[in-house]
Every structure is written in structure tokens, then in C-alpha cells.
Structure 1
Amino acid sequence: MTDLTPDAVLDASGLNCPEPVMMLHQHVRDLAAGGLLKVIATDPSTRRDIPKFCVFLGHDLVEQQEQAGTYLYWIRKNAG
């Protein structure tokens, strides 16, 4: 099983597109290479936007879950 203990948490609950991804960009920038960021969001558009963000910037979307209208993502920052 993958260890999903994050190095940092971004709670973007209640925010709508594009705010969660804008905040994600800043949080990933501040994270050390290889660090794991947990994102908590309530905007359904993050299901599309966050995976695209990871592909575009080369980060690893380790895990993605949905729990009662809350979307959870674990993103590992690329080493570059």
C-alpha cells in the first residue's frame, strides 16, 4: 500500500474554478522535490483540472478519491 501521509495539505474547500488550481500551483512551488501534497476540494471541476495540471507539469497524481462531495488528491511533486 502507498503511504499517503502528506508533507503539506491544501484545503480548497468552498472555492470554485480556477481558484483551487491557482492555489495548487503555489503550494506545489513551495513543496520540496518529491514532496507529497494532499488537496481537499469541493469543486467538481477539480476532477478534470487537477489531473490535467499534474500531466502538464509532470507531477504524479498518486491517489484520487471522492467522499460525499469532497474530492481528495495526493500529488507528488516531480524531482525537476
Structure 2
Amino acid sequence: MPAVTLLTKPGCHLCDDARPVVESVVAAHAGVTLTERSILDDEALRLEYAEDIPVVLIDGRVHSNWRVDAARLSAALERAAARA
């Protein structure tokens, strides 16, 4: 099943907006896992994504950044689950 990673950092208002959307979509897809990581805890992530957060990764690949569209994320998870 797909794995979703939400890249955030403390104090990011867009991250605060994205979090409940991602959590809701993931909860609606059985077997999908969600991990949230702060880019401040990983220098490589901070360097790569500092200007792009929040970033949603599906199986390690960038799905979206800044704003999360629930319908688009849901469709991507359905496609990823079908491939699994």
C-alpha cells in the first residue's frame, strides 16, 4: 500500500492547513500510512524543500507542495494502491 510523507516545519501556516486535509484523505484509504517529518530535523530535506513546504510525498515521490487538493491526493492514492 502507498506510504504518504508530509514534510513540514514548526510555525508553517500552510503546513497547518495541509495537515488535516492529508490526514483525512489518508484515513479514507485503508492500508495507506502517513508519516510527518519536519525538514528542520534533516539537513538534506531542509536544503531541498525549504521553499516548498508543505510537501506531500507518495512513496517517496513529490505529489504536491504548498496547497493540498483532497480530490487530487485521493485519486493519486487510488492509482498507487492499484499498482501495489
Of the two, which has the highest radius of gyration?
A: 2
Task: Output the TM-score relative to the length of structure 2.
Answer: 0.32
More strand by share: 1
User: Larger relative CO (CA 8 A, sep 6+): 1 or 2?
Assistant: 2
TM-score, with length taken from structure 1: 0.34
Higher helix proportion (structure 1 or 2): 2
